[in-house]
Structures are given as structure tokens and as C-alpha cells.
Amino acid sequence: MSRARRALRTVATLVAVAAPAAALASWLVFVPPTRAVPSFDEVRAGHRPSDLLLLDRHGEVLDARRVDLDRRRLEWTPLDRVAPALRRAVVVSEDRRFAEHGGVDLRALAAGALARLRGGPRRGGSTIAMQLADLLDLSPSRAGGRGLAGKLSQVAAARAIAASWSREQILEAYLDLAPLRGEAVGVDAASRLLFGKAPHALSDAESVTLAALLRAPNASPRAVRRRAEILAADLAREGDPAGTALSGPAGSAAVAAAVERACAPGAARSPVTRASLAPHAAARLLRPGGPPAQRTTLDAGLQRATSEILERQVRAISQRNVRDGAAVVLDVESGEILAWVGGSGAASSARHVDGVTAHRQAGSTLKPMLYATALDERRLTAASPIADLPLEVAVTGTGVWRPRDYDPRWRGLVTMREALAGSLNVPAVRTLQLVGPSTFATALRRMGFSGVDRPGDHYGPALALGAAEVSLLELANAYRALARGGLWTPTAPLSTEPGGRTGTRATGAGERIWSAEAAFVVADVLSDRDGRSATFGLENALATRFWSAVKTGTSRDMRDNWCVGFTRRHVVAVWVGNFSGEPMHDVSGVSGAAPAWQEIVGLLQAGLVDERPAPPPGLVRRRVRFGSEPERDEWFLAGTEPGSHLVETARPIARIESPVDDGVFAIDPDAPSDRQRIVLDSSGAPPGASWRMDGEGLGEAERLLLWEPRPGRHRLELADPGGRVLDRVAFEVRGPGPAAPPSIPPSSRRPPRSPGR
């Protein structure tokens, strides 16, 4: 080509470039961006990671939960936490005059246009600010509008960003929002997914690799390596330390290794390594739309130790068909949840089931609340004798129920202290008959037991043995009320992050469930090592070197095993069993949940001073003796103490043993009438006590009486010599024969409000 022709072509090219440049300049001066440009603070505040973080009370990461399955975005990373080599490599790769222009590099745009007019390869003229405008969706070019209008809109947005943001803010936002390999978006996700490290720890070779991926995130490994090597050479020419370090064979090998790791199949799909200490709390709190990180009341160290202890205990008894467990730790004073372990980890049969909130039968764990209620109603004292003898209770629709103790032997008369400490079942049923199922069910509902949602009569006498369903968290908080002197408050919110999900009920005004005196007596019984020795022995998993009050429970057919107890500072509750409801094999309270409870409470108490609660002023201490046992001191609510300094507590409570309350009898028309009688029997009746049937006297009650049945409803009363009713039952007789006259409607079976001693 002649020199004249080349000159002519150059002039034509310049004319062709000048016209678009003039038009672009006019656009930049007179045309605003198509959308309002947000501030840097607004963009950063609106960043929503795909993985939300659960933090403990000190800010340590407990768990993470992915809420966006399309892209992987992690935490917003400040510019000073990005490796300097990566920051410099991005500028050299994407926008060499980043520090000089006002968001748009006209020289780069003109050079790109000139290259296209000459028929050469396309050259990118987009600056970092222009690319950021696309990432913020401020121009139609991101949605495919790559024509002149889309480009000019992108340019206008970039100019607006550069006018209101600092250069550091532009680069920081770009690094946090730019897509990289695979699903990774932002420098934090890319560095952790591809290289397994935080952005500040990236090497020089890893930095140039990530910068090379910005141009073509899903390019082939060969193309990425070539781009990274060119970028390293560019850095070296500018005297950059990273480029100098990557010069030569060793640097080339380092770049090749970094590219190979970043572009390996599946590399960008690898999960982010996070702690998984509280998966059930995370599932409860971390939801789309929530804050990027939620701080909780949990303690990471305690959470970790509790999880390990529980998993170890479940594995130790796995041969007895135990696969699942749960544990929770509360602060007595504040109600804060310090540990929430919803499952037994890898040993669990259903890892997504939360054993802290799941409802299961309570077993004997409700007995302390029952006895506290009886103490407050002044129906019993800790020294009151209760019969641990065979008992038959009529149950509507199912016949007669005969409760039995875990230990098959009968102990005869025992004190309330022995009955509760030894977890005897029959005395608990007798106590519920004194208190009444409705009264007890109402007390349980006041303590937040959501599973007790029916009238007390629905549960009947089995409520004393845990027929109602409770959650571990509800149970722990009820014991917390005992630890706080009978004052119940809801647990504190699990999340302490403003705007976060609460996760538990909010704190509120306290409600007094029992008197401080009744709560103290029950706690004293639950801490009595000697009192429970007859059932559990002196050396067992309930014994601690410091003051603690504890109770175990096992539900019907050994489906659930509980251990709940407290010190002055903490409540610890543990459950083991199977989420499927499958029974365990010969697992008692002492062998199931108690060993884990003992280890956790020992960990909490390490280094602390052993503190015993002080008795409240409304208690009186007296010396008592039960039968032939040695004398001992006992606590009494003021007004229920014995009159003398030394009292024999062997006198039993007067009760009707037969017929059972609400019993139903049928007269057989084919049997001789003189062979059909109902046995009237009592226990503990004082001399001179008598029977009254439907208001008519039947004679003395010191011996068995055979009563001829008459069809109809009847009320039988046991009265002392002065006529005071000691106990009463109602029953029905069905069959032929003259009907009995209408009886007085049966009233409550409760005897008068006086302590049994």
C-alpha cells in the first residue's frame, strides 16, 4: 500500500472515531444514568451472603446455613482484608488508569473503537467503575443491552459512581460483587472455595489467578493460565513485587499449580469449611432475609463440650438400642440458653430432628412440681408418710390401673422425702389424688408446657408419672423455676441480634408458681444423696462433689430417658432415646442420661465455689423420727411443723383402698345374690373411724366390710370419730334389682387442707 493511501486511511479512521467520541462527550455532560446511583454504605448494607452465620455470645462462629442455592456469596470483605497482590493485579488487569480517570477511560474506549474499525480483535474498554455499574444493575448492558444506548448508559452510571464514591470504595465493592469461578461471587467466596483460605492469605500466584478469572470466569484452564502468566509479566514490567516474585520457572510453576487447583472439576462446588456446632439452633434462626450474622446467647466452648459429652454417652449405650440424645444448658438467673444440642451428632438416627424442642413423655421428671404443689396446698410435708403399697385406680374407658414402681418391691410407709428422692411411683399417684389432676395440669400450663393442652381429667392419675408430653427446653425452664425459689420466667431469646429471629419465647414478667419455701424443700430433697440411696445407692451418676439438685425420669416402655438438675448458677437437662420412639433395652435414669448430665454439670462447676441455697424465712426446722429410723432434721413450711420437738411420723394417711374411685361394678343376674359383695377396705384409719354410704352409717372401718351392691351411683366416705371426712370415693353399680335412692352428687375426693403427718 502506498504511503499516500495509508495516510488517507488514517485520516478516515480518525474522522470515524472523532464523531462517536464527540457524541459520547455530549452524553456524559447532559444525560444522567438511567437509575439512581446508591451510596457505598447502602450497597454494603444491602449485601446478603448466601451463607448466614450463627455466632456465639463472644462472636465466634457456631454454624452456617446456606439460604441461596443459585450463587455462593459470603461475607462482605473490606479492602484492607484482601491480599495487596490481588488488589494490584485487578487494577493492572481491568483498569490500568483506575486512579486517574473519573470512572470512564476515554483513551481505552477510543483505542477499542479504533481496533474494531481496523478489523482487529475486540479490546475491552470497560473500567472497574463501568463493570461495577453492571454489577449494581444500573445500566441495561447487564441484561444484554450491548448496543450504543446500553454502553452509554453504563458510562453515565460509572461517571456518577466515580463522582460520589472513593476509589477504595469502588474497588472494594467490585471485589465483593464480581462473579468468579462457578457459583462463587465475590473475593471471599472465591478464595475460600477455590483455595480454602481467607482473602488476606492469598499467595501471589493465587492472586493473579483470581484476577485472571475476572475477565473470563469459566474459561478453560489453558486460557486462564495464559491470562495469569501475561498478567504476571505485566506486573513484573511495572516493578510490582508480585510480578517480580512470579518471574522465572519457579513462579511459572506456582501459577500453573494455582490455576490447576482453581479450575479443577468441582473445585468451585466444594462446600465452605465452617464450624457446625449448633445445626439445630442454626436451622431455627438462620432464614432468608435475616441478618448476615446472628449473635446468640450460646457459648461456643460449652456448646462444643456438651455435644462431645452427649455423643460419647450415646455411643457408650448404643448396644442397648440408643441412638439419639439432646441436651440444653440454662443460666438460672437470666434464663439465657448457653448450650443447645439438638442431637447426638454422627450417631443420631435423624440428624435434622431437634431433640431440644421435640415433645416426649416426661416420665418421673414432673414429680418435683407435683410435690411442690402439694406442699404449697399444705396437703403434705416432707415428713408426711405415704403408702408405697399396691394401688388400684379406676380409669374411665380402660378399667383399673395398677401403678408399679421401677423397683418391684413394696416399701410400705415412706416419707414424702423418700418418695420423691427415690422416685417412687405409687406415692406420687397418691399425691396427685390429693392435689387433683386439674390443679396440677393448670400449674404445668402456667410454666409453659405447651403439650399439656387438655383438662387434667384427660390425663388422670397417670399425669403423676409423666403421661403428658413435654420438651427438653420446657422441662429445663420448669426446673429453673425451682432453682429460682418458685418464680417462673420465660427463657431469654436465643438470638441477641437486632432484627434477628427470636427462636424462643421473649422474656417477660415472672410468675410465682410455688412459694419460695416449697421450692426450697423440693430442691433440698432432690439434693439429698441419702434420701435417694434406697433406690439408687450412694455412688451413682447423680452424686456430685458440690451442691446440686437432680431428678431422672423414664417414660413408659423405656422410650425416653431424662435427667434434669441444677446448681445455684446453671440448669442442665439431658434426654436420650430414639427419635423413632423405639424402646431402649434396660436403660434406667442412672445409666442413660445421668452420666452425661453429671459430666456437663461438673464442667460448669469447675473452679467455682460450692454454694448451698439459704433457706427462706418461712421455713421451720424440726427433729423428726420415722418409725425405727434414726432421728433427723426436717424442713417444714411455717404452720405445718409438728407441735412437739420430737415427733413420730409413722402415722399413715387414712385412705379408702377399696372400692377405687370412679369404679364400675356389674351385678350378675345368674349368680346368687348372697355371693356378690363389694369389699370396703381402708388403710391408716384411726381408732373409731367409720364408714358412710350415701350419707348413712355402715359401722366401724377398722375391719373389712362386705357390702351388698345396689344398682346406681354411690358415694362412700371414711370419717374419723368426730365425723370429719378423711377420704371419699364415688363408684357405680350396674345390673338388675331395685335401684338405690339418688345419692348426693359426688364431690371432689380431696380431704380437708391439712398436712398429713
- Low-confidence winner among 132-146, 184-198, 545-559, 564-578 (lowest mean pLDDT): 132-146
Quick one: pLDDT at residue 563? 94
pLDDT at 431 over 50: yes
pLDDT at 518 over 90: yes
559-611 confidence digits (pLDDT tens): 889 999 999 999 999 999 898 888 888 887 678 888 999 999 999 999 888 78
Quick one: pLDDT at residue 5? 56
- Low-confidence winner among 91-100, 196-205, 443-452 (lowest mean pLDDT): 91-100
Average pLDDT over residues 369-379: 93
Proportion of the chain above pLDDT 70, given as a percent: 81
Proportion of the chain above pLDDT 90, given as a percent: 27
Whether pTM > 0.85 for this model: the answer is no
pLDDT at 392 over 90: no
Quick one: pLDDT at residue 340? 96
Assess contact for 138 and 34: CB atoms under 8 A: yes
Average pLDDT over residues 68-97: 86
Quick one: pLDDT at residue 420? 94
CA pair distance 377, 371, nearest whole angstrom: 10
Average pLDDT over residues 450-476: 88
Average pLDDT over residues 719-737: 84
User: What's the whole-number average pLDDT of the chain?
Assistant: 81
DSSP class of 232: H
pLDDT at 11 over 70: no
pLDDT at 104 over 50: yes
Beta bridge partners of 634: 622
CA pair distance 375, 517, nearest whole angstrom: 9
- Low-confidence winner among 109-113, 632-636, 640-644 (lowest mean pLDDT): 109-113
- DSSP string for 684-735: SPPTT-EEEETTEEEEESSS-EEE---SEEEEEEEE-TTS-EEEEEEEEEES
Quick one: pLDDT at residue 467? 83
Q: How far is CA 83 from CA 44, 86, 205, 206, 515, in A?
A: 20, 5, 11, 10, 63
Quick one: pLDDT at residue 646? 52
pLDDT at 444 over 90: yes
Q: How confident is the model at residue 617 (pLDDT cuts 50, 70, 90)?
A: very high
175-195 confidence digits (pLDDT tens): 999 888 888 889 998 888 888
Quick one: pLDDT at residue 484? 95
Average pLDDT over residues 218-237: 87
Cβ within 8 Å of residue 408, ≥6 positions away: none
CA pair distance 171, 210, nearest whole angstrom: 15
Helix (H) / strand (E) element for 637: namely strand 632-637
Quick one: pLDDT at residue 660? 79
Q: How confident is the model at residue 110 (pLDDT cuts 50, 70, 90)?
A: low
Quick one: pLDDT at residue 591? 82
- Low-confidence winner among 114-118, 129-133, 352-356 (lowest mean pLDDT): 114-118
Residue of 695, 417, 682 whose CA lies nearest to 535: 417
248-272 confidence digits (pLDDT tens): 888 888 888 888 888 877 654 444 5
More confident residue, 238 or 536: 238
Q: What CATH class has 3-269?
A: mainly alpha
Per-domain residue ranges for the chain? 3-269, 306-605, 619-648, 655-734
Beta bridge partners of 681: 658
Q: How confident is the model at residue 22 (pLDDT cuts 50, 70, 90)?
A: very low
Q: How confident is the model at residue 123 (pLDDT cuts 50, 70, 90)?
A: very low
- Low-confidence winner among 278-292, 652-666, 698-712 (lowest mean pLDDT): 652-666
DSSP class of 380: B
Amino acid at 239: G
Q: How confident is the model at residue 746 (pLDDT cuts 50, 70, 90)?
A: very low
pLDDT at 621 over 60: yes
Domain formed by 655-734, architecture: Sandwich (2.60)
Strand ranges across the sheet with 61-66: 61-66, 51-55, 293-295
pLDDT at 323 over 70: yes
Q: Is the dihedral of CA 141, 146, 150, 154 positive or negative?
A: positive
CA pair distance 40, 163, nearest whole angstrom: 12
Backbone φ and ψ of 261, nearest 5°: -70, -40
Average pLDDT over residues 415-435: 90
Quick one: pLDDT at residue 596? 93
| CATH code, 306-605 | 3.40.710.10
Q: How confident is the model at residue 486 (pLDDT cuts 50, 70, 90)?
A: very high
pLDDT at 534 over 80: no
How many other CB atoms sit within 10 Å of the CB of residue 10? 10
Assess contact for 231 and 92: CB atoms under 8 A: yes
Quick one: pLDDT at residue 673? 82
Q: How far is CA 543 from CA 332, 476, 540, 564, in A?
A: 20, 19, 6, 13
352-364 confidence digits (pLDDT tens): 889 999 999 998 9
Q: How confident is the model at residue 679 (pLDDT cuts 50, 70, 90)?
A: confident
Assess contact for 141 and 153: CB atoms under 8 A: yes
More confident residue, 126 or 373: 373
pLDDT at 15 over 50: no
pLDDT at 636 over 80: yes
